[in-house]
Amino acid sequence: MSDLQLSYNSVLDLQAKNNGWVIQKYGGTSVGKFPEKIVNDIVKEFANHHRVAVVCSARSSHTKSEGTTSRLLKAADVAYDNGDYKTLLDVIEDDHVQNAQKYIHDSEILQKLIVDTKKEIARGEELLKASQVIGEISPRTLDSIMSLGEKLSCLFMAALMEDHGLRSAYIDLSNIIPLDYDFNNGFDDNFYKFLSKELGSRVSNLDDDVIPVLTGYFGVVPGGLLNGVGRGYTDLCAALVAVGVQADELQVWKEVDGIFTADPRKVPNARLLESVTPEEAAELTYYGSEVIHPFTMEQVIKAKIPIRIKNVDNPAGPGTIIFPDNIARRGEETPPHPPAAYETLPSSYIASHAKRSATAITAKLDIVVINIHSNKKTLSHGFLAHIFTTLDNYKLVVDLISTSEVHVSMALQIQPDQEHQLKNAILELRKMGTLDVTRNMAIVSLVGKQLVNFIGIAGNMFKVLADERINIEMISQGANEINISAVINTKDTIRALQSIHAKLLEGRYVDEGSSPVDLRLEALKVQN
């Protein structure tokens, strides 16, 4: 175990004596597959030393795309199209009732859970029926329909805890934001402050031995939670609870041991990272490795609360810590020194770490590249603005862009349900110049806080691709300088990930650890 790991654990142990809070967020598939493990091996264990609050997503028995949230969103679509939404609701009801019967042994707890489940589903049905009659589903209504997923999942988890001898409290957050809340400034700091305070007070008022189980859905927001935050909003909810109670740690429990140097399903040699910075975690999520919702981190980190990604199926593993490499944790008696400025490090040190230059590699699929050659000799005034306005009108987001005097290339992720929007956007963009569209592409991104410091890393990455005879359609270095990306053909993705990983993330230097925090520790050693 590294010094860093020890120091994090020791802070937790220290604070355990004060019975500080640990906030645990469970994803939909974890609730679906491992509910008893969550209660017996994780919640009960942590509750021995900490106050624990649990935040759950909607249940998925297999994958998120077949989970309750996806089914509810589909039901809303079907209702809008005047179709049979009732059949979909029946599937959701059967799934939850059967799940309750499978896991809950006490007949009184089981009966109550089934009654509560059916009551919530009946309310969802009313909403869907009303939407069908009116012929409209507002973002607010869609949010309320979607909230059913988290309500059902949390009713079940709270009941399961009671069934296993714990005291629990089901907390429905769907009304936590008052209808008259002034949202003039959107999701600003005041909103987050308000929400974390409210969330904090809901859990702090409970008896010490009661485990709050909070719906990760946290109320109606303007424009809708889906538009404002997007799927994965329960991560943000858990983060705000952590801030509200000044938790010792926010834990995001998944079905993977933590954050790896690459998706372990695609790169068998991928290594578990001890720690990554919030910027790296956000970048990895954005560019295809669904690690944690990017909004989650800002507020938690401001409150100096570390985030730990852990595996429900391997609770004893250390997980990965997300924390900045340049600020001290709350509760640390002797804050670590800030990392040495790179330029102040001895050249021998820089040379010996020259290969430890990236943290992880990731890939984003379903990418379409649009090239536009302007009709004019140079890009005229308003050309780019017009492109972005058009894409925005069709709710299309550009992941990468590169421009020359008369030419713009853009890479966008297009999900199957966005094809129609893409088609219309292309029709409009064609008026601006010659346009060609390349499909079946992928963005491969090398992510690392240190990338900015290592000259030549981009060249190395592109050389690996060239050696593998992988054609590069577009390249880009992210504005924040912690990401170097290349657009390639989808069929080459796995080969690209594995070869870049082998050349730039494996080997003797990397084996010693390559995260920015490791770099900081090394830098401190050099200084002392």
Q: CA 126 to CA 145: how far, in whole Å?
A: 10
- Give backbone dihedrals phi and psi of 249, rounded to 5 degrees, phi first: -160, 145
Q: How many helices (H) and strands (E) does the chain have?
A: 20, 14
Select the residue interacting with ligand ADP from 17, 102, 265, 381 (CB under 6 A).
265
Tell me which of ligand ADP, ligand PHD, none is bound by residue 213, counting a contact when its beta carbon lies within the kind-specific cut-off of 5 to 8 angstroms.
Answer: none
Nearest alpha carbon to residue 289 among 314, 260, 255, 257: 260
- 260 contacts 248 by C-beta, under 8 angstroms: no
Closest of 133, 141, 135, 131 to residue 223, by C-alpha? 141
Q: Which residues contact 237 (CB under 8 A, 6 or more apart)?
A: 25, 55, 173, 199, 214, 215, 216, 217, 218
> What x-and-dash track marks residues 136-175 binding ligand PHD by CB under 6 A?
-------------x--------------------------
Q: Choose the contact partner of 69 out of ligand PHD, ligand ADP, none; CB within 5 to 8 A by kind.
A: ligand PHD
Which x/- pattern, by CB under 6 A, does the window 327-366 give for ligand ADP?
---------------------------------x-x----
Question: Which of 24, 29, 275, 514 is close enough to bind ligand ADP by CB under 6 A?
Answer: 29
Residue number with CB closer to ligand ADP (22 or 113): 22
Q: Kindly state the tokens that stand for 141.
A: 């209504």
- Choose the stretch contacting ligand PHD; rule: CB under 6 A; options: 91-99, 231-239, 316-324, 363-371: 231-239
Binds ligand PHD (CB under 6 A): choice among 233, 286, 323, 383: 233
Question: By CB under 6 A, is residue 27 in contact with ligand PHD?
Answer: yes
- Asked if 29 and 63 count as a contact pair (C-beta separation under 8 A), the reply is yes
DSSP bridge partners of 435: 372
The answer for residues whose C-beta is within 8 angstroms of residue 365's C-beta and 6 or more apart is 288, 413, 442, 490, 493
Amino acid type, 321: I
Smallest gap from residue 285 Cβ to ligand ADP (A): 9
- Pairwise CA distance, residues 462 & 491, whole Å: 17
Encoded one letter per residue, x for contact with ligand ADP by CB under 6 A and - for no contact, window 273-312 reads -----------x----xx----------------------
Among 27, 35, 200, 306, binds ligand ADP (CB under 6 A): 27
Residue from the set 64, 71, 310, 353 that interacts with ligand PHD by CB under 6 A? 64
Task: List the 407-413 sheet strands across, edge first.
Answer: 398-403, 407-413, 360-374, 433-447, 483-489, 474-477
Length of the chain: 528
Nearest distance from C-beta of residue 207 to ligand PHD, angstroms: 28
262 forms part of the interface with ligand ADP (CB under 6 A): yes
Q: Which residue lies nearer to ligand PHD by CB, 28 or 433?
A: 28
Judged by CB under 6 A, the stretch of 57-65, 122-130, 240-248, 413-421 that binds ligand PHD is 57-65
**String of DSSP letters for 7-54:** HHHHHHHHHHTTT-EEEEEE-HHHHHH-HHHIIIIIIHHHHTTSEEEE
Q: Which two tokens stand for residue 511?
A: 């084996």
Percentage helix, strand, coil for the chain under 3-state DSSP, each rounded to 5: 50, 20, 35
Partner whose footprint covers residue 264, from ligand PHD, ligand ADP, none (CB < 5 to 8 Å by kind): ligand ADP
Nearest to 146 by CA among 77, 50, 249, 49: 77
Answer with the entry of ligand ADP, ligand PHD, none that 255 interacts with (C-beta below 5 to 8 A by kind): ligand ADP
Comparing CB distances to ligand ADP, the nearer of 116 and 150 is: 150
58 binds, among ligand PHD, ligand ADP, none (CB under 5 to 8 A by kind): ligand PHD
In whole angstroms, the minimum distance from the beta carbon of 311 to ligand ADP comes to 8
Kindly list the distances between the CA atom of residue 378 and the CA atoms of 19, 54, 221, 382, 436, in Å, as whole numbers in the listed order.
65, 56, 43, 12, 18
Task: Using the rule CB under 6 A, give the single segment among 250-258, 346-354, 410-418, 479-487 that binds ligand ADP.
Answer: 250-258
User: Which of these segments, 77-85, 251-259, 428-436, 518-526, binds ligand ADP (CB under 6 A)?
Assistant: 251-259
Region near ligand ADP per CB under 6 A, out of 24-32, 85-93, 388-396, 423-431: 24-32
Q: Which two tokens stand for residue 400?
A: 């990468």
| Shortest separation between residue 9's beta carbon and ligand PHD, angstroms | 26
What number of other Cβ atoms are within 10 A of residue 116's Cβ?
18
Please select the residue that binds ligand ADP; options are 59, 71, 96, 254, rule is CB under 6 A: 254
Does the protein bind ligand ADP through residue 264 (CB under 6 A)?
Answer: yes
Q: For ligand PHD, which residue of 44, 86, 193, 231 counts as binding (CB under 6 A)?
A: 231
386 residue type, one letter: H
Which amino acid, residue 348?
A: S
Query: Considering only 99-107, 249-257, 382-390, 399-407, which stretch makes contact with ligand ADP by CB under 6 A?
Result: 249-257
Q: Which residues bind ligand ADP (CB under 6 A)?
A: 27, 29-30, 64, 254-256, 259-260, 262-265, 284, 289-290, 360, 362
Q: Which residues bind ligand PHD (CB under 6 A)?
A: 27-28, 57-58, 64, 67, 69, 149, 216, 231-235
